Amino acid sequence: MGMVPGEKIRVTNEIPGSIVVKVKNKKFVLDKDIAKEIKVLKQ
């Protein structure tokens, strides 16, 4: 999905097994296993 370190992510929806995130103006659905791999640098 081409996400790069330092990008701002906003979680918009939570669905069983996945989350929906907004990166800039694009929305992505991520499996929770993938989402767990994202290191949050700043809340």
Partner 1 sequence: MRKLKILLIGQPNVGKSSLLNALVGQRVVVSNYPGTTVEITQAEKVFNNTKIEFLDTPGIYSISDRSEEEKVTEKALFEKEIDGVVVVADETSLERSLYMLFQILEAQIPTIFALNFEKEAKKKGIKIDCKKLEKLLNIPVVLINPLTKKGIAELLAVTLKIKETAKRSFKIEYDDRIEKSIDKISLQIRTTFISKRFIALRILEEDKDFYKYLKDKRIIQEVKKSLKNHLKVAENISIDRYGTAAFIAEKVTQIIPLRGRKDLEEDVDNVLLHKIWGPFFTGLSFLAIFGALLYFGNLIQGVLMGLTESFLSSFGTTEHSVVSMVLVQGLTGLAAGISIALPYVFLFYLLLGLLEDVGLLSRFIVNTERFLKKLGLPGKSFIPLVLGLGCTAPAVRAARILSSKKEQFHTVSLFAFVPCSSRIAIIMGVVGFYGGLKLAFSVFATLLIAGLIWAFGIKKIIKIKSEPLLLELPPYRRPLIKNVLAKSWLRMKDFVYIVMPLLVIGGIAYGILDILGLTKSIVGPFLPITAWLRLPALTIIPLIFGFLQKDLTGAMLLSVLGNKISLVLTPLQIFTFGLASSIGIPCIIALGMLVREFGFKKAITLTITSIIYGFLFAGFLTRIISLF
Which residues are near partner 1 by CB under 8 A? 1-2, 4-7, 12-13, 15-18, 20, 23-31, 33-34
Across 1-43, the runs of DSSP E, i.e. the strands, are 9-15, 18-23, 26-31
Listed in sequence order, the residues at least 6 apart from 13 whose beta carbon sits closer than 8 Å to its beta carbon are 19, 20
- State the minimum distance, in angstroms, from the CB of residue 23 to partner 1: 8
- State the minimum distance, in angstroms, from the CB of residue 3 to partner 1: 8
CB nearer partner 1, residue 16 or residue 43: 16
